[in-house]
């Protein structure tokens, strides 16, 4: 997978060199390119923004630099991901969907956002997804691009050493992950649930599922299925 990032703060994406195991880049699994949007400006001040049409506070990122960047990079076969609080929610399902793409081009907004015509024009040549990592506002889209990148690339075949660990994670299958424990069996008066020491894999699996269902019902009723089976009793949750 090729990953391109368009940003006015390229140093903000330096963690990509740290957070993505070098082996993923060295092996060719990932091909990462961070671009300073200002390289597509032509004035002495390297201007990337201007005041909003219609008035209002703040500045808007101009269309020309993005347009020239897209022209130079080429968008064929790419999915443009625009990180914005006004985007569709980023979910594990969307992470899986984006992990199927050959190339992602992240457009990181700043200020009041990117001129909408940039996205409208890009949509005439390729897929564009405006994506939000949560209902809150950051100073820019770079942090969201990092978060989305991490969630997506870890799903790529060969990225995780043990692909099996992906199966029982939170949000896979619509449930939050069950609690996890490791040695020692007793710590500061807190004991590991005995079922986990029983060696009864069926009972362990059932306990883990019940814990996941319980956690999901308690913490994320929005994810909970209309009817959950807890302790063998069908529990109907409030709609
Ligand atoms: N919530 C997201 S993705 C965002 C981007 C910029 N500010 O907030």
48-98, pLDDT tens digit by residue? 999 999 999 999 999 999 999 999 999 999 999 999 999 999 999 999 999
CA 184 to ligand 1 center in whole angstroms? 41
pTM of the model: 0.89
Q: What is the pLDDT of residues 114-156, one digit of tens each?
A: 999 999 999 999 999 999 999 999 999 999 999 999 999 999 9
Q: Measured between alpha carbons, how far is 80 from 87 in angstroms, rounded to an integer?
A: 13
pLDDT value of residue 112: 94
Question: Residue 236: is its pLDDT beyond 60?
Answer: no
* Whole-number pLDDT of residue 133: 98
Is 132 touching ligand 1 by the criterion CB < 6 Å? yes
85 lines ligand 1 (CB under 6 A): yes
Q: What is the pLDDT confidence band of residue 180, given thresholds at 50, 70 and 90?
A: very high
Distance in Å, CA 16 to ligand 1 centroid? 18
Does ligand 1 come within 6 angstroms of the Cβ of 7?
A: no
Ligand 1 geometric centre to CA of 133 (Å): 7
Q: What is the model's pLDDT at position 165?
A: 67
Instruction: Give the separation between CA 206 and CA 195, rounded to whole angstroms.
Output: 10
What is the CA(146)–ligand 1 centre distance, in A? Answer: 12
Task: Give 90 Cα–ligand 1 centroid separation in angstroms.
Answer: 11
- Gyration radius (Cα) of the chain, Å: 22
Residue ID of nearest Cα to ligand 1 atom 3 = 132
Which tokens go with 126?
């390729």
Look at residue 28 in the predicted model and tell me its pLDDT: 87
pLDDT of 227 over the 90 cut: no
Kindly report, residue by residue over 149-177, the tens digit of the pLDDT: 999 999 999 887 766 666 667 787 889 99
Position 226 scores a pLDDT of 59
Question: pLDDT for 15-61, tens place per residue?
Answer: 887 766 667 887 889 999 999 999 999 999 999 999 999 999 999 99
Check residue 237 and give its pLDDT: 41
* Res. 232: pLDDT tops 50: no
Tens digit of each residue's pLDDT (9 = 90 or more) over 187-216? 999 999 999 999 999 999 999 999 999 999
Which of ligand 1's atoms lies nearest the C-alpha of 143? 5
HSE of 80, CA atoms in CB hemisphere, 13 A: 27
Q: Could you tell me if the CB of 134 is within 6 A of ligand 1?
A: yes
| Count of C-beta atoms within a 10 Å radius of residue 68 | 15
Look at 10 and 234; give whichever has higher pLDDT.
Answer: 10
Nearest CA, atom 1, ligand 1: 85
Cα–Cα distances (Å) from 198 to 44, 86, 211, 231, in that order, read 71, 49, 17, 18
């Amino acid at each position: 997978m090729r990953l391109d990032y368009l940003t006015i703060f390229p140093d903000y994406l330096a963690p990509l060199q740290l957070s993505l195991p070098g082996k993923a880049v060295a092996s060719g699994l990932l091909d990462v390119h961070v671009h300073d949007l200002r390289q597509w400006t032509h004035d002495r001040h390297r201007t990337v923004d201007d005041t909003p049409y219609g008035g209002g506070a703040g500045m808007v990122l101009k269309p020309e630099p993005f347009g020239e960047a897209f022209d130079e990079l080429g968008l064929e076969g790419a999915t443009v991901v625009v990180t914005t609080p006004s985007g569709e929610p980023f979910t594990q399902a969307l992470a899986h969907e984006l992990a199927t793409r050959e190339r992602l081009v992240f457009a990181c907004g700043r200020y009041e956002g990117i001129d909408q015509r940039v996205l409208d024009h890009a949509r005439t040549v390729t897929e564009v997804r405006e994506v939000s990592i949560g209902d809150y506002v950051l100073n820019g889209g770079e942090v969201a691009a990092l978060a989305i990148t991490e969630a997506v690339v870890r799903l790529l075949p060969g990225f995780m050493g043990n692909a099996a660990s992906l199966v029982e994670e939170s949000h896979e299958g619509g449930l939050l992950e069950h609690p996890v424990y490791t040695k020692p069996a007793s710590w500061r008066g807190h004991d590991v649930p005995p079922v986990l020491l029983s060696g009864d894999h069926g009972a362990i699996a059932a306990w883990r599922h019940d814990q996941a269902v319980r956690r999901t019902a308690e913490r994320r009723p929005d994810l909970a299925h209309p009817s959950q089976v807890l302790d063998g009793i069908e529990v109907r949750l409030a709609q």
